Chain A
Amino acid sequence: MDHFSPVIVAFCCHYCAYTAADMAGSMRLSYPSNVKIIRVPCSGKVSALHIMRAFQKGADGVYVAGCLEGDCHFKDGNIKAAKRVAYVKKMLDEIGIGGERVEVIRMSAGMGERFAQSAKDFTERIRKLGPNPVRAVLNQRESAGA
């Protein structure tokens, strides 16, 4: 896989990260198109199931982007999101997908650059990790079956 192009799901809270992504747009800061954003009202809205479903369906990486600490529109939703992601990390480690494929990223609405930079960094990280093992297993099965 020389030109592995990962698929990355970014859950972005409406108030900060999604706004920062728009801001990256108005500043014309390019970042890898691998990152696809799903808007949520608060990063705390993202359940463990949403993240696991993405990996089950073949996503190579997932990140949950919320507000800076103390800036959450809903008091501490971003902190609860971080706890949940920590829990998902452990689970991913246990089942062999690897906890490093999921991350929490914090930014304020004005940080267009941070949004672009973290999209770059995360994509690079996942590129190094290679494809989601689920993909490889299924591919093997397919070729074994054939």
Chain B
Amino acid sequence: MNNKVLVIGGGIGGIKTALDLAEAKRDVVLIDKAASIGGLMTLLDRTFPTNNCDLCTVSPHLSESGRELHIELMTLTQLTRVEGEAGNFKVTLKTDPRFIDPAKCTACGECHKKFPECVRFTPGLDHRAPTCMRYPQATPYAYSIDMTRCRNIEALVEVCKDGAIIPDDIAKVVELDVSAIVLTPGAALFHPGILENFGYGKYPNVVTSLEYERILSASGPSLGALVRPSDGKPPKKIAWIQCVGSRNTNQVAAPYCSSACCMFALKEAIVTKERFQNDIETVIFYMDIRTSGKDYELYYQRAKNEYGIEFVRSRPHSVIPVGETGNLSITYSTDQSDMPLKDVFDMVVLSTGFQVPADLVELAGRLGIQLNEHNFVETRSFDPVSTSREGVFVAGLFQSPKDIPETMVQASAAACLASNYQEAIKEADKTDDEYPFDEEEELPSERDVSGEEARIGVFVCDCGYNIGGVIDVDRIVEYAGNLPGVAVSEMVGHGCSREALAHIREVIVEKKLNRVVMGACSPRTHETLFQDTIQRAGLNKYLLEMANIRDQDTWVHSDTPEESIDKAKDLIRMAVSSAALSRPLTDHLLPMNKDILVVGGGVAGMSAALNLADKGYKVYLVERSGTLGGLARHIRRTLEGDDVQRHMSDLIQRTINHENVQVLLNAVIVDHSGMPGMFRTGIQSGPRLAYRQINHGATILATGALANRPREYLLDEHEAVMTQLDLDGFIEDHPDRVKAWHNVVMIQCVGSRCPENPNCSRICCQSAVKNALRIRKLNPEANIFVLYRDMRTYGFQEDYYRRAREQGVVFVRYGLEDRPSVEAGEDQQVEVSFYEPVLGRKITCLADCLALSTGFVSDDESTEDLSAIFHLNRTVDGYFLEDHVKLRPVDLSVPGFFVAGTAHSPKDISESIAQAQAAAGRAQTLLAKDVINLGASVARVDGEKCAACLICVRICPFDVPFINADGYSEIDPAKCHGCGLCAAECPAHAIQLMQYEDQQIMAKVDSLLEGIL
């Protein structure tokens, strides 16, 4: 049976889709036209809103994706043809020659050192050439060669000691059967050279935001030093110009909003300020600051108030050089000034937006999927990651401009839907030609080594030139052979090769070794492989110790080989001393309960439940109220004009009638225990509050948010005043009354972006535009005023905003210092007064309807209760806090818990559905396993020594230790995260962290310092 999914594009979205599918035991072919995966995100220095280093957050995902058994990675590869239909596609893939065998290449860099000209340059400022490895943690970890630039092929081939260079490599074409296709090709960045007024390409100190990111990056052209391109001097004053190539109706630019650039610029300005504080001035020229994501508004406020970043509301006219200084003068005008203003900067950063490049339009043509007017993939409101062709899904930028967390949500959603076309693979059926061992072969039973004297085998890898080229490996081998407890000491050529691993395994069995030390590379990359090897030789995998003599020795001390040899000896000696004390450990395994608890019966909860139920999982759907539907039951239309109620009634009917869904209404959660794969949750439901317990393996929280209804502007006091949600229904139910209106006023940000509710509610700007357009359609004569602070019609919503302006809806900006005021007027009208900045005076309007954009508030009471019961974290404003705001926006911090919809943050229906599909997909990845492996590195308490002093109880970051009935501390291995804080603090040394026991660490210290005194 055809069991593969094709994922096109190896950026962060494609990687996430591939990992999710692989975790759910589906085979994936991940293709990328570039030489390594990673996409745009790996070019970033830091990411908002945490300003974390980017590579550290993404690189584990990249190497995970390189390691994962179910994923076949094909770089330099493009789709050329597709035939067939969902469940049964036949695709043709063409792979360009890399001229290097990634399996042999160790990324030693010799070829580049001798032949830098054959290196492919990365675009923009990244002239550090080394690497057509685009960044230091590239996957695959191998170079590629541009053969057309090479003049002496023979010499180039000669230079590679590992014989990895294939001068006559040719393009390969393969045909594959796949059952589903996911598109995650990303997008291109607008090229600002087309816009002459900003001087990009002419003046070296005008750079794009991505280029600025590279300048800041530690792996960038200036190795992280902020210097301007023209003269290498540190800038003192930098300007950002927003919306370059976006929100622009001229022919070469895009009319939509690119969604991510506001936060991108804020982050760059903040990081700049963080590094240089008062030595640098930062100014952002903007039209609207669109910080509508989760907690993004707080980030904006910090940028303004704490970092002193200056914000100028203006679209600058032009950038002009100041003599030969390299400085740049910006001409602009604002609402407050009649005359054009001028300011001089050392550098100008253009916040360029996203565009769909021509090759993606062609790809869409080959796939036969529809694109929208902007060449992004056409999707439907209630099915946001499905394309017009069944079995073909889209996630990330190619669907619409968006940031990384939204891309991650869609990637998981697409993985969830794509997996419907295959059965999960049983582990036993799985073989992989690339893998050194036959997967079908069962592991030999573990040899009992207790009571044996240590018989340690030391295997020193030469790693080709990487280790062997710097130090004489034989000397290390000889030295190690004389260390106490060492029974065998050997050199292995390319220790991770199939032959070497097979050899190591033989030696372990033959010489009855009971401990193994690998003198090789980093445990971070290769420990699992060597653990697997010793397991296959009948040893417990925790009897392995690695000495990192490559990454932390020969690679960094190649100029002093004697020192390098001494250090290698030290490292091996330390590893041997610790290995002698290592003991067999058992991974904690648990059986998996495959049922799911979904809390919340709104659109997100029902969508998640149905997705899982359709896959055959049993779902318990718990709803607090007496009906399904949640907040969406009160919404009539989306901005795009879709009928929400029709979708809702369909959703409710399907949920109630689905054989795999059990709906519990009027139900509250009262207690909870257990661990992922075997949770037990107590629920009271029905009129008599009957108590029952549900056993489940995963939990999805979709408890929603509340429609905000603050007591402001005569809301609920005057008939003419209503919320946008009220108005949405009113327009549908009373078109005749709408037709009679003369003046309509809308006020934005009522009860949002204020001290009581500091974040942006995200949906109100589109609601206002939606309702304004509907009123305009019914009543072309009415005056419609929208009083706003920033219009946040991100993505394609910008089209509707523009349409509203074109149709005469008047948008008037107000500031917090000058808020509109409302008084009751005559004839069921209200009197709205507001300041008109363009006219420069106050206007009073008698409104027949005053619509307040009140947005959301978190359902504080229920998230507080649930977070107490489930031990979950919340944001300051009462939304559930995900595990990682960038890369794990659906997973909560407690394993086995996932979040969807507005319980996570304000979002619209389409975004809620995407997150619900993503939550279902994430739950599926957990439930695909039959057992849960919790690892073995957990703290263990010796009850005899424990004095119940409570220090461990207090210090544990995860509240795991407790004093048990016997009066000593107990640590549940299933909950322990393995940090070892308790072990470090325990005054009685009653706690040991397995794998890192005190005696092992002490042995390393002692053996390192042996002979010093």
- Chain A residues within CB distance 8 Å of chain B: 7, 9, 14, 16, 18-19, 21-31, 33, 36-42, 44-47, 49-50, 53-54, 57-59, 68, 70-71, 73-77, 80, 84, 108-113, 116, 134-135, 138
Contacts and interface: CB of A to CB of B under 8 A. Distances in A.
16 contacts: A7-B1009, A22-B522, A27-B136, A36-B567, A37-B548, A38-B574, A38-B1001, A38-B1004, A42-B980, A80-B981, A108-B52, A108-B56, A109-B55, A110-B53, A110-B54, A135-B1012
A23 B1012 contact: no
**Which of A22, A44, A71, A77 has the largest number of chain B CB atoms within 10 A?**
A22
A44 B1004 contact: no
Contacts of A26: 107, 136-137, 551, 555
A57 B558 contact: no
B56 A19 contact: yes
A70 B219 CA distance: 22
Contacts of B1004: 38
A58 B1009 contact: yes
A45 B52 CA distance: 23
Contact of B1005 (A14, A38, A39): A38
A73 B937 CA distance: 15
A56 to B, nearest CB: 9
B223 interface: yes
B984 interface: yes
Given A7-B1009, A45-B981, A109 B558 contact: no
Contact of B567 (A9, A33, A59, A111): A33
B561 to A, nearest CB: 10
Contact of B979 (A59, A77, A135): A77
A25 B106 CA distance: 13
B61 to A, nearest CB: 13
Given A41-B980, A57-B1013, A70 B50 contact: yes
Given A26-B551, A31-B556, A45-B996, 10 more contacts: A23-B136, A25-B556, A26-B137, A45-B993, A47-B983, A73-B979, A74-B977, A77-B979, A80-B955, A108-B56
Contact of A28 (B52, B556, B564): B556
A60 to B, nearest CB: 9
A50 B1001 contact: yes
Contacts of B55: 109-110
B551 A50 contact: no
B978 interface: yes
Contacts of A25: 522, 550-552, 555-556
A53 B984 contact: no
A18 B552 CA distance: 9
Contacts of A111: 53, 218
Contacts of B1009: 7, 9, 54, 57-59
A31 B218 CA distance: 17
Interface string B516-550: 00000011110000000000000000000000101
B402 interface: no
A51 to B, nearest CB: 9
Given A36-B570, A45-B993, A112-B136, A30 B558 contact: yes
B686 interface: no
Contacts of A9: 1005, 1008-1009
A57 B979 contact: no
Contacts of A42: 979-981
A41 B56 contact: no
A53 B981 contact: no
Interface string B567-578: 100110010000
A110 B570 contact: no
B1012 A58 contact: yes
A48 B833 CA distance: 67
A116 B556 contact: yes
Nearest to A21: B552
B558 A28 contact: yes
Contacts of B955: 80
B937 to A, nearest CB: 7
A44 B981 contact: yes
Interface in B945-966: 955, 957-958
Contacts of B1006: 53, 57
A53 B1005 contact: yes
B442 interface: no
A29 B551 CA distance: 10
A33 B50 CA distance: 34
A39 B547 CA distance: 10
**Which of B53, B570, B1002 has the largest number of chain A CB atoms within 10 A?**
B53
A16 B55 CA distance: 11
Nearest to A29: B556
Contacts of A21: 551-552
Contacts of B552: 21-22, 25, 37
A27 B130 CA distance: 10
Given A25-B551, A113-B223, A134-B1013, A36 B980 contact: no
Contacts of A59: 1005, 1008-1009, 1012
